[in-house]
Structure 1
Amino acid sequence: MGYSDDIPKGCGRPAAEPAYTNTTVTIPCHHIRVGDLLILQGRPCQVIRINTSSATGQHRYLGVDLFTKQLHEESSFISNPSPSVVVQTMLGPVFKQYRVLDLNGSTVVAMTETGDVRHSIPVLDQSSLIERLTEAFKTGRGSVRVLVISDGGREMAVDMKIIHGSRL
């Protein structure tokens, strides 16, 4: 019994179009790598494995849900914009950028794009993100920003960047 045994074989989505929303963006499959964030089965996931069918060339992604830690698997969307062109895409999340105001353990207090203050935004527990945030916040060089992913009212900081002087 594998993780994909409950998924019927051949249930790929040829010629299907992804369900676009204002919280997703299409990503060409050739840009996706292990560790990237995708929307799999409607959930924000970090990719842990990529398979390609030798028969069809279709990509299949296995990822871990960022919020529930459950596994999700999904095949790429295939479209044919012209007779000799095949394009494979997946849905990726749209990130919000918040300014870090304070750090509280493994959560951040941040200001949204609209000026609202969000307390206790959890930080992704991988890639030493909390350590990098702490170091950047302590040095005080530039404005520390977190990239936040949202899911059904929940938010999580998944990456960071520092904005220096002239771009504040």
Structure 2
Amino acid sequence: MTDPDSDFTSGDAGASVTYPMQCSGLRKNGYVVLKGRPCKIVEMSTSKTGKHGHAKVHLVGIDIFTNKKYEDICPSTHNMDVPNIKRNDYQLIGITDGFLSLLLDNGEVREDLRLPDNDLGKEITAKYEAGDEMLVSVLSSMGEECAVAIKGMTK
């Protein structure tokens, strides 16, 4: 048996799921954690310094997994959490009981990712049934994963 602390097969640096960034350093189309959810920033505005000397940043973000809208206000000098986001493309090889069968780079098959129950899920199913080969882009952040896009495979 090997010690789990010395098992380096995953290639993960053991990094935290988020990292801090000063609120004034955040940018539109970047990412931030709002109300505990990883969000893409769609709107930002900064108010002038008030009576107590802090400019405030008003953030509006869309949850990258659920597309729900979240808002928050934070002093520009304070730190906000920014989620670490990984995007991987996998070849789709099947759909079983609402789960995607994806071929990983190392040749293994992964069957634990749910078919999205939105327009993308319908598009994946339709293209798969039509016999199209495609890559599924999977976004993972803060312990969650979701298929977010598809690309046709070039031969």
Shorter-chain TM-score bucket reads: 0.5 to 0.7
Q: Which runs of 5+ in 1 are unaligned?
A: 1-11, 17-27, 79-89
Q: TM-score, normalization: structure 1?
A: 0.53
Instruction: Say which of 140, 144, 148 aligns to 2:131.
Output: 140
Residues 4-153 of structure 1: pairs in structure 2 closer than 5 A: 13=22, 29-30=27-28, 32=29, 38-40=31-33, 43-45=37-39, 50-55=43-48, 60-64=59-63, 66=65, 71=70, 73=72, 93-126=85-118, 128-141=119-132, 143-151=133-141
Q: Calculate percent identity across the aligned residue pairs.
A: 19
Query: 1:15 and 1:131, CA in 2 relative to 1: closer, same or farther beyond 3 A?
Result: closer
Structural RMSD (CA)? 3.9
Query: 1:40 and 1:152, CA in 2 relative to 1: closer, same or farther beyond 3 A?
Result: closer
Is the Cα contact below 8 Å between 1:39 and 1:92 reproduced in 2?
Answer: no
Shift of 1:118: 0.7
Q: Which runs of 5+ in 2 are unaligned?
A: 1-20, 49-54
The runs of at least 4 aligned residues of structure 1 exceeding 4 Å deviation read 56-59, 69-75
Q: TM-score, normalization: structure 2?
A: 0.56
When Rg is computed on C-alpha atoms for both structures, the one with the higher figure is 2
Is the Cα contact below 8 Å between 1:148 and 1:155 reproduced in 2?
Answer: yes
Q: Distance in 2 between matches of 1:150 and 1:117?
A: 17
Is the Cα contact below 8 Å between 2:38 and 2:83 reproduced in 1?
Answer: no
Q: Distance in 2 between matches of 1:72 and 1:149?
A: 22
Q: Distance in 2 between matches of 1:39 and 1:124?
A: 23
Alignment partner of 2:117: what SS? coil
